[in-house]
Amino acid sequence: MSSDSLILANVPAAATPAAPATDTRPPRGGRRDSRPGGNRGPRRDRAPRERSEFDSVNIAVRRVARVMAGGRRFNFSVAIIIGDKKGRVGVGLGKAADTALAIDKATRDAKKHMITVARTDTNSIAHDVRQKYASSEVEIMPSRGRGLVAGSSVRTVLELAGVTDVVTKIHTRTKNKLTIARATVEALKSLNKRG
């Protein structure tokens, strides 16, 4: 008997290389199933989201921090303007722990405080109007053929109300978009009272 055959005879059976086992696990990051969505169960077909009758614009999203015993707590404050561009417009404010909930609250608030603007046949306004709200003072003047000449959130409010051919002026130095928007709504509201 040769020395090579003796070495092979003394090797235990477990040490002989076995056939590689097939790995049943999916590759990392890959899908477990060929269906879209993997093993998450049957897909529920969602009804398409119905389109709102109002257009909306977020004018201010702020993150507000409160200092608590365990650290800081963050809330979100969202100011939103909604309108149908046919004379109805509203400004709302919503506060919540996340932005989606704050936007929902702001939209509900804007719908609750919606006004209808008295417009002329050319989608302008009948006369000059000037109104103050908090630290903001806004003046709106009809100006035939000029289009909408406005800045800041005054422009957004008037666009969503469907008002054109006006020139506007903000008479105060404030940059607070919410109070400027509310001053504009107050001006349009006082226009309705007079007209």
Whether the pLDDT of residue 116 is over 80: the answer is: yes
Q: Delimit the domains of the chain by residue range.
A: 55-194
pLDDT of residue 195: 55
Q: φ, ψ for residue 103 (rounded to 5)? A: -65, -40
Whether the pLDDT of residue 175 is over 60: the answer is: yes
Sheet of strand 166-170, all strands in order from the earlier edge strand to the far edge: 129-133, 136-142, 166-170, 148-149
- Which residues make beta-bridge pairs with 25? none
Whether the pLDDT of residue 88 is over 90: the answer is: yes
pTM: 0.71
pLDDT range class, residue 3, cuts 50, 70, 90 = low
Q: Which of 34, 38, 29, 80 is nearest to 59 (CA)?
A: 80
| Average confidence score pLDDT of the chain | 83
Q: What is the mean pLDDT of residues 63-88?
A: 92
Whether the pLDDT of residue 93 is over 90: the answer is: yes
- Which residues make beta-bridge pairs with 63? 76
Q: φ, ψ for residue 15 (rounded to 5)? A: -80, -10
Domain 55-194 classified CATH 1.10.150.120?
Answer: no
Across 7-16, 51-60, 141-150, least confident range:
7-16
Torsion of CA 59, 168, 195, 188, to 10 degrees: 10
Across 47-51, 116-120, 177-181, least confident range:
47-51
pLDDT range class, residue 171, cuts 50, 70, 90 = very high
pLDDT range class, residue 33, cuts 50, 70, 90 = low
Pairing of strands 129-133, 115-116: unpaired
pLDDT of residue 53: 81
Across 27-31, 166-170, 185-189, least confident range:
27-31
More confident residue, 112 or 50: 112
pLDDT of residue 31: 54
pLDDT of residue 26: 61
Q: Where does the chain have alpha helices with state H? A: 3-10, 99-112, 152-161, 177-194
CB 167 within 8 Å of CB 90: no
